[in-house]
Amino acid sequence: MVSAPNPPLVSVDESRLKERAAEAMTTARTRTRALTDVVDDSDLVRQHSKLMSPLVWDLAHIGSQEELWLVRDVGGRQPLRPDIDDLYDAFQHPRADRPALPLLGPAEARAYVSEVRDKAFDVLAHAALTGRDLASNGFAFGMIAQHEQQHDETMLATHQLRVGDPVLSAPEPPPRGEDPEPDEVIVPGGRFTMGTSVEPWALDNERPAHEVDVDTFVIDAFPVTCGQFAAFIDAGGYDDPHWWTPDGWAYRGEHGIRAPRFWLADGDAWWRRRFGVIERVPDDEPVMHVSWHEAHAYAKWAGKRLPTEAEWEKAARWDPDTGASRRYPWGDADPGAEHANLGQRHLRPAPVGAYPAGASPLGVHQLIGDVWEWTASSFAGYPGFVAFPYREYSEVFFGTKYAVLRGGSFGTDAVACRATFRNWDFPIRRQIFAGFRCARDIAAGER
Ligand SMILES: [Fe+2]
C-alpha cells in the first residue's frame, strides 16, 4: 500500500472539485477530438514516424487508461474491454511496433473512448473524493485528464511529423514585448522549497516538497531564440567537437545533424516546416526541435551551461520578498492567456518578451509555456519519493538515461503544467517541442 500523497484540501468543497475534474476531462476530450477528427481514417491508422504511434493508437490508449483507473479501479465497475488491455499497454509494445497490432479501427476507437467517458462521468458523480488515496481530492480524475493532455501533445508532435497539406490552424501568438532588458538575471543563493506536497493533482515525481540549497547563479531572462541559435550555426558550432559531449558529437555525426529538426537551409536564410507550412524561421522566437546535445553545445559555445533542475525551479518559483515558493512564476493563480503560451492556443512559441505578466518576481520570462526547456539534470526521485499510483508512472524511468525538461510548451495544457511539473526524455530527442535557456556561475565581483 502506498502512503497518501494528497493531504485533504479542506478549502475546496467536493462539488467544486468534481466540477473541476469534469471540466479538465472535457477540455482534454475536445482537444483529442480536434486532433483526430481533422485527418481522415487512412491518416489516423498510418505511422507518420517510427518515433510515434499511429494517432488511432493514442486515441484508444487514452480510453484504455481511463477505463483502468477510473471505471475499474476508482469505480469498481466491470471491465468494458479486458480483451484490449494488452494492446494499449505502452510497456508491452514499443511505438515502432504498434502499427502491426490488431488495433481498434477509427470508428471502434471513437465508440470505445466515448463509452468509457460516459462510465467515468458516472463514477465521478458517485465517487467520494475523500479517504481512499486514488480518489482523494479527485486525484485519479486529474491524473487521467493530465494523461489525455500529455497524449494530445504527443499527437500534436505526430502532426508536426506528418507529411502533407496543413490541417491545423490557430491564431498567431502575441507579438514580441518591449526590448527584453536585461537579458540575464542574478538569482541569489540560499535555500528554497522545491517540489510540492500540497498541489492536489501533482504527480508522484513532483513530491514531496523539500528544501534545496542553491548557490548564486545567473540565468537567461528568455529562452534562447532561433536568431541566437542561427549565430551558433554560422559560427561553425556544428563542426567543432569542442562544444559537444562525446555522445553528442557521435550522435550529430551519425545522423548528419546540421540544424534544428525541421529547419531547411536556403542560401543564407533558414526556413522551416511547421505543421505542413513552409516559412522563414523567425529570429525572435524561442528555438525548438533541438536535442539536449544541441542545447548543451550551444550553451558551451556561448560561455554558459544549462541550468540544473533546481536552478530552473528556483528561478521560476522563489519569491525574494517572502522566501516562499509560488505555484507559477507570476504567483498562485492558474495560468491565463496573459501569463503563458499553453494549451495549443497558438501553433508556435511566442516571440521573446510576449508575456510580461507571466514573468517571475526576479524578471525571468516565459519559463512556463512556449517551449519545454532542457535542463542539465537527469531524472531522479526527490528525497522521500513514493511511487504513486504505480511504479511505471515515473520510477522506472529514474536514472541517467533521461534528461529533465521543465516548463511546458505551447502544446502543453495548463492542467499538465506547473512550475513543479517534470518531463523527461532521451537527450537525442528532437521531435518534441523542446528548446532551452542558458545559465552560468556568477563571475567574481558581479554580485
Ligand atoms: Fe499513456
Distance from residue 244's CA to the centre of ligand 1 (Å) = 33
Nearest to 440 by CA among 218, 186, 214: 218
On whether 147 is known to bind a ligand per the annotation, the reply is: yes
Digit-coded pLDDT (tens) for 221-279: 999 999 999 999 999 999 999 999 999 999 999 999 999 999 999 988 999 999 999 99
Distance from residue 178's CA to the centre of ligand 1 (Å) = 40
H or E segment to which residue 310 belongs: helix 309-317
Give the whole-angstrom CA distance, residue 440 versus residue 390. 37
Question: Whats the size of the chain, residue-wise?
Answer: 447
Distance from residue 61's CA to the centre of ligand 1 (Å) = 7
pLDDT at 94: 87
- Cβ atoms 366, 285 nearer than 8 A: no
pLDDT at 1: 35
Distance from residue 395's CA to the centre of ligand 1 (Å) = 15
pLDDT at 238: 98
pLDDT at 12: 56
Nearest to 186 by CA among 311, 25, 26: 311
Q: Which residues pair with 377 in a beta bridge?
A: none
Give the whole-angstrom CA distance, residue 414 versus residue 343. 6
- b (16+ CB within 10 A) / e for 65-92: bbbbbbbbbbbeeeebbeebeebbeeee
pLDDT at 123: 97
Give the whole-angstrom CA distance, residue 254 versus residue 374. 22
Provide the 3-class DSSP secondary structure of residue 298: helix
Distance from residue 317's CA to the centre of ligand 1 (Å) = 28
Distance from residue 143's CA to the centre of ligand 1 (Å) = 11
- Cβ atoms 187, 359 nearer than 8 A: no
Angle at the Cα of 240 from the Cα atoms of 234 and 242, rounded to 5 degrees: 130
Provide the 3-class DSSP secondary structure of residue 160: helix
Distance from residue 287's CA to the centre of ligand 1 (Å) = 27
Distance from residue 147's CA to the centre of ligand 1 (Å) = 6
Nearest to 301 by CA among 367, 365, 239: 239
On whether 425 is known to bind a ligand per the annotation, the reply is: yes
Delineate the domains of the chain, giving CATH numbers in brackets.
14-161 (1.20.120.450), 170-447 (3.90.1580.10)
Distance from residue 328's CA to the centre of ligand 1 (Å) = 25
pLDDT per residue rounded down to tens, the chain (447 residues) = 344 444 444 345 888 999 999 999 999 999 999 999 999 999 999 998 999 999 999 999 999 999 999 999 999 999 999 999 999 998 888 888 888 889 999 999 999 999 999 999 999 999 988 877 898 999 999 999 999 999 999 999 999 999 999 999 999 999 987 766 669 999 999 999 999 999 999 999 999 999 999 999 999 999 999 999 999 999 999 999 999 999 999 999 999 999 999 999 998 899 999 999 999 999 999 999 999 999 999 999 999 999 999 999 999 999 999 999 999 999 999 999 999 999 999 999 999 999 999 999 999 999 999 999 999 999 999 999 999 999 999 999 999 999 999 999 999 999 999 999 999 999 999 999 999 999 999 998 887
Helices (H) and strands (E) in the chain, counts: 9, 12
On whether 234 is known to bind a ligand per the annotation, the reply is: no
H or E segment to which residue 302 belongs: none
Give the whole-angstrom CA distance, residue 215 versus residue 277. 44
Distance from residue 214's CA to the centre of ligand 1 (Å) = 34
pTM: 0.95
Q: Are strands 210-214 and 217-220 parallel, antiparallel or unpaired?
A: unpaired
Distance from residue 93's CA to the centre of ligand 1 (Å) = 12
Distance from residue 269's CA to the centre of ligand 1 (Å) = 39
Distance from residue 227's CA to the centre of ligand 1 (Å) = 35
Q: Are strands 422-425 and 399-406 parallel, antiparallel or unpaired?
A: antiparallel
Give the whole-angstrom CA distance, residue 374 versus residue 293. 10
Distance from residue 213's CA to the centre of ligand 1 (Å) = 34
Distance from residue 63's CA to the centre of ligand 1 (Å) = 10
On whether 95 is known to bind a ligand per the annotation, the reply is: yes
pLDDT at 180: 63
On whether 33 is known to bind a ligand per the annotation, the reply is: no
